[in-house]
Amino acid sequence: MPEPLEQLRVTLKQRGQSFTKARQIIFAALQDKEPQTMHEIILACRGKVDRASVYRSIAVFEQIGIIQRLQIGWKYKLELSDSFHNHHHHLTCNNCGKTTRLPEDEQLERRLDGLARSQNFVMQGHQLEIQGRCQDCS
């Protein structure tokens, strides 16, 4: 079994969830993709997984931390979380709407952790979106 699918199986198992055909299909639709809207995911699974089941599986994925919900511009989008992708943040262009990844930045990550600590807060994750004008649009 391909590596990431195996990781999905283990993660589901650990949380007492079933490793089903439908969930594998939905997972595949998210792999190596930029964040997608629910609508896009449903389309990607068209004919293979029912709409209602996509919603239900996405909810499970979210609860056990397999995916993350992001606010990108105006709509929310979903992508695999850091344990499946590399950790990263997004740049969203206010003009053309495209999103690109921001390379990982150690110094930023440390700063965030320090800030959380200073509030007696244990950081488990975070998300950052920078909005503005991309190179092409400025």
Please tell me whether residue 14 binds a copy of itself under the rule CB under 8 A.
no
Among DNA, a copy of itself, none, residue 71 binds (CB under 5-8 Å by kind):
a copy of itself
Burial (CB count <10 Å: 0-12, 13-18, 19+), residue 88: middle
Q: Which is nearer to a copy of itself, 4 or 73 (CB)?
A: 73
Closer to a copy of itself by CB, 13 or 111: give it.
111
Give the x/- contact pattern for a copy of itself in 80-109, rule: CB under 8 A.
-----------x-xx-----x-x--x-xx-
Burial class of residue 41 in the structure, from the number of CB atoms within 10 Å of its CB (0-12 exposed, 13-18 middle, 19+ buried): buried
CB 65 within 8 A of CB 85: no
Which residues, 41 to 80, sit near DNA by CB under 7 A?
48-53, 55-57, 59-60
**Counting contacts by CB under 8 A, is residue 55 touching a copy of itself?**
no
Cβ neighbours around 7 below 10 Å, total: 15
Determine contact, residues 132/73, Cβ cutoff 8 Å: no
| Distances from the Cα of 109 to the Cα of 71, 77, 78, 126, angstroms | 20, 23, 22, 9
Which residues 15-44 are close enough to bind DNA by CB under 7 A?
17-23, 38-39
Applying CB under 7 A, the residues found at the interface with DNA are 13, 17-23, 38-39, 48-53, 55-57, 59-60
